[in-house]
C-alpha cells in the first residue's frame, strides 16, 4: 500500500486530516488494510502535530525568557 500524502504543510492541516481519519475509522466501513493504512497515517500525523506543538512551546519559552517578570505557565486546554 503506497502513501497517498506526504507530510502536511501546517499543524492545522495535520489536525484536520487526523480528525477526518478518526471519523472514517469510527464509521466501521473500512477494510482491514484500509484501517491499517489509516492508522499508520494517523500515527504520522500525530507525530507531526506533537513536533509542531513542541516547537511552538519552545518559541514561547524563548520569547518570555527575555522578559524576567513573565514566567511561563502550563497551558490549560479546557477552553
Asked if 30 and 38 touch (Cβ cutoff 8 Å), the reply is yes
pTM of the entire structure?
Answer: 0.70
Alpha-helical segments (H) within 27-71 = 32-65
Domain ranges of the chain: 11-65
CATH of 11-65 given 1.10.1200, 3.10.450, 3.30.70, 1.10.287:
1.10.287
Cα(66)–Cα(73) distance, integer angstroms: 15
What does the buried/exposed string (b/e) look like for 50-59 if buried means 16 or more CB atoms within 10 Å of the residue's CB?
eebeeeeeee
**What is the DSSP secondary structure assignment for residue 10, as one 8-state letter?**
S
Per residue of the chain (79 residues), give pLDDT as tens.
444 566 667 999 999 999 999 999 999 999 999 999 999 999 999 999 999 999 999 998 888 777 766 666 777 766 4
Maximum Cα–Cα distance for the chain, whole Å?
55
Amino acid at each position: 500500500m503506497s502513501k497517498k500524502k506526504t507530510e502536511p504543510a501546517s499543524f492545522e492541516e495535520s489536525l484536520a486530516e487526523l480528525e477526518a481519519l478518526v471519523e472514517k475509522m469510527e464509521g466501521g466501513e473500512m477494510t482491514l488494510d484500509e484501517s491499517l493504512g489509516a492508522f499508520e497515517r494517523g500515527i504520522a500525523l500525530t507525530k507531526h502535530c506533537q513536533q509542531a506543538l513542541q516547537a511552538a512551546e519552545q518559541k514561547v519559552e524563548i520569547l518570555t525568557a527575555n522578559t524576567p517578570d513573565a514566567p511561563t505557565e502550563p497551558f490549560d486546554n479546557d477552553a
